[in-house]
Structure 1
Amino acid sequence: MNSNQGKQEEISINTSDLNIELLTTVIGAIIHNIDLSKVLDKPNIIQQIEHALIKHQVIFFRNQHLTPKQHRDFARLFGDLHSHPFYSHVQDMPELMVLEYDSDRKPSNDHWHTDITFTEKPALGCILYAREIPSVGGDTLWSSMYSAYDALSLPMKNFLSTLSAEHSYAKNFNLTNVHLPDAKEKLDKAKQELPPVIHPVIRTHPITKRKLLFVNITFTTRVIGFSDVESDMLLNYLFSLVNKPEYIIRWHWKENDIAFWDNRSTQHYAIGDYWPNRRRMERATIIGDRPI
C-alpha cells in the first residue's frame, strides 16, 4: 500500500468512458450523461461504474428512469442481493426494500450506520432510488471510514487492530420502529435466525486493501473481552469519529436520483427533517464478504 496516509493503494481503475464530477476530494462523485437503463448489457460500462464506486465510495446518478425490475437487474450485476428481514419490499421483489415514511410513519434511519453489519456477510454496497421526494429536507449524509481510520495515531491503530466487536440487529430493530403489521412475528423469527455476529473493529477493504473503521452506533453492541464500562467508553469515542465534516458528503435528493455506495468503507445517515411529509425510497442491497 502507498505509504502516504490516506492514499488509496495503486489498483487499476479505468473510468475513461464516464463523465465524473468530484463532489469532494475525500468522498463522493456524480456520474453525468448516463442512462442506467441502457447499460445493463454493457459489461465494460458496468465495470467502470464499479471502479468509480471503489474510488469515490459513493456515486450519484441524476434523472434516472428505471422500472423496479431494471433497478433489481442493475444491482444484480454487482453480486447477489439481500432480502431485508424487517422492511417491506416492492411487490413480488423481496430484493427491493421499501423505505417509506409519511405522517403515520416517522423516519427511523436518522442515525449513522453501515447496512446489515448484523449479518456474517454485510453488504458490499447499496443502490438507493428516490421514487418520491419531499419538498423540503430529507438529505442523506455519507462518511468515509477510510478517513476516520487514517486520522488515528499509530498506537491507536495498532491497539484497535487487535480488537473485535459484536454486532446485533436487536440494538436497533424492535417493535417501536419496525413498521409492519407482522412486526412481532418477524422479530421473533430474526431472534432465531440472526444471532449476534463478531467482526473486526478495523477492517481491510477486499479490493483497495486499505484499512478502515468498522463499528457503527446502530448495530455494534460491545467490544469483545472488555467490561461494559470499558466497551462503552471506547465505542462512544469511535462512534464520534464519523461526524467530522471533512469526511462527509451531503446529498440533496431530487426525484429519480440514484445513489450507489460502497457499504464496506462508509457509513450513512438519512436526515429525518422532512417529516411529516412523504418520502419513498427503494433500495437494492448487494451481499458482500466476511470482514477481515
Structure 2
Amino acid sequence: MSSAVQTSRIKHQKLTCTIGAELFDVDLGDVARDDELFAELHSLLLQHKVLFLRDQNFSRADHVAFAERFGSLEDHPVAGSDPDHPGLVRIYKDLDSPAEHYENAFHCDATWRAEPPMGCVLRCVAGPEVGGDTIWVNMVEAYAKLPDHIKTRIAGLRARHSIEASFGAALPVEQRHQLKARYPDAEHPVVRTHPETGEKILFVNAFTTHFVNYHTPENVRFGSDYAPGASDLLNYLISQAAIPEYQVRWRWSENSVAIWDNRSTQHYAVQDYWPAVRKMERAGIVGDRPF
C-alpha cells in the first residue's frame, strides 16, 4: 500500500490500485463551512470515486449540512427518513428489519429514478463487532477493461431500471403497482458519460431488468435469438461488478463515513452479521439524467 499523500490541506492514502482513499485529520463539519477545503475534497472524490473517514462525531444536522454542499438531498420511497432531517435516510438492520430492505447485491443507488443520485454520504451509527462491511466498485475501470468487441456491441444500447422489480417485489400486488405508478421504470444508456470528468461508465446493475433497443436486425435473426442473447449479455455486464480488481472493501466502525460518487461506482453491503445490529444513516444527493 502506498504511503499517505498530503495535498494542499488533506492527507489521504489510496486503499487499492483502482478505487478508494482514506482521509486523515479531516473534520467534515469544517469541510461543510470551508469552500476551499470542500473543493479539495470534491476533487479527491472525482479521482478516487469513494472516500473514507473515521471518527466523524457530528450531528445529523452537520451530516445534512455537509451533504448539501454537493446539492439538494432526496428521500427514499421505501426506506425511512429521519423525521427532523428530510433526506437523511435511516438504514437500520435488526431482527425486525423488513425483508425488502436489502442491499446485498451490487447496485448503483436509485437508478430506477430518471435522475439517479449524484452521490451519497453514509455514516455508521452502530455496527457489529465484526462483519457488515461494504464493497465499492469502480465502474469506469469495469468499462475500460471490457473486450473491444463487447464495447462495440453495447454502444448505443439502453436499458430499463425498475423499483417495482426490486423493492416492490416483496410487496402485495396492489402496493407494488402503486409503487410503479409513482416511480415508472427509468431508461438509461448502458454506457453513460460522467458529467464532470467525461469518463465512460458501465451503467447496469441489480436494478436493471432488460435492454429496450436490443431487438434489431443486427442482433436478432429469429425471435429465438432475442431472450437468451439479450439476457446473457446483460448478465455478463452486471457480473463485472463482482471482479475483485475493481473493488475496495471497507470495515465500518462507529462514526466512520463513506462518501461516494454514485455515477461511477456500485456498492454491496455484506449481510453476514445477523443477529447483530447495524445502523447506518445516508444522505443521498440529487443527480442528473444520465447521457
TM norm structure 1: 0.89
Residue identity over aligned pairs, in percent, reads 41
Asked whether the equivalents of residues 81 and 95 of structure 1 are also in contact (C-alpha less than 8 Å), the reply is yes
Runs (5+) with no aligned partner, structure 1: 1-13
Query: 1:120 — aligned with what?
Result: 114
CA–CA distance in structure 1, aligned partners of residues 96 and 77 of structure 2: 22
Residue identity matched to 1:137: G
CA–CA distance in structure 2, aligned partners of residues 39 and 131 of structure 1: 20
Query: 2:203 — aligned with what?
Result: 214
Secondary structure, aligned partner of 1:159 = helix
CA–CA distance in structure 2, aligned partners of residues 62 and 284 of structure 1: 17
Query: 1:269 — aligned with what?
Result: 268
Q: Deviations over 1:57-99 (max 9, x none)?
A: 0000110011111101110000111111111111222200010
Q: 1:70 to 1:202 in 2, by over 3 A?
A: same
Secondary structure, aligned partner of 1:94 = coil
Asked whether the equivalents of residues 222 and 228 of structure 1 are also in contact (C-alpha less than 8 Å), the reply is no
Query: 1:282 — aligned with what?
Result: 281
> What does 1:190-209 align with in structure 2 at a 5 Å threshold?
190-209=179-198
**Which one of the candidate residues 142, 155, 162 is aligned to 1:168?**
162
CA–CA distance in structure 2, aligned partners of residues 88 and 63 of structure 1: 25
Asked whether the equivalents of residues 124 and 262 of structure 1 are also in contact (C-alpha less than 8 Å), the reply is yes
The worse-fitting range, judged by mean Cα deviation, of 183-192 and 34-43 is 183-192
1:185: Cα distance to partner? 8.4
> What does 1:1-292 align with in structure 2 at a 5 Å threshold?
15-105=7-97, 108-174=102-168, 176=170, 187-216=176-205, 218-226=206-214, 227-292=226-291
The worse-fitting range, judged by mean Cα deviation, of 61-70 and 36-45 is 36-45
1:15: Cα distance to partner? 4.5
Residue identity matched to 2:138: S
Residue identity matched to 1:37: G
1:260: Cα distance to partner? 0.3
1:189: Cα distance to partner? 4.1
CA–CA distance in structure 2, aligned partners of residues 132 and 184 of structure 1: 34
1:35: Cα distance to partner? 1.1
1:276: Cα distance to partner? 1.4
Asked whether the equivalents of residues 37 and 65 of structure 1 are also in contact (C-alpha less than 8 Å), the reply is no
Q: 1:155 to 1:123 in 2, by over 3 A?
A: same
Asked whether the equivalents of residues 82 and 285 of structure 1 are also in contact (C-alpha less than 8 Å), the reply is yes
Residue identity matched to 2:113: T
The worse-fitting range, judged by mean Cα deviation, of 141-150 and 221-230 is 221-230
Equivalent residue pairs, number: 273
Q: Deviations over 1:169-219 (max 9, x none)?
A: 11211363x7xxxx9887554322211111000011111111110000x21
CA–CA distance in structure 1, aligned partners of residues 195 and 179 of structure 2: 28
Runs (5+) with no aligned partner, structure 2: 1-5, 215-225
Secondary structure, aligned partner of 1:89 = coil
Residue identity matched to 1:223: F
Residue identity matched to 1:155: H
Asked whether the equivalents of residues 112 and 207 of structure 2 are also in contact (C-alpha less than 8 Å), the reply is yes
RMSD (Å), alpha carbons? 1.8
Q: 1:15 to 1:54 in 2, by over 3 A?
A: farther
CA–CA distance in structure 2, aligned partners of residues 223 and 185 of structure 1: 26
Residue identity matched to 1:224: V
Residue identity matched to 2:45: L
Q: 1:159 to 1:54 in 2, by over 3 A?
A: same
TM norm structure 2: 0.89
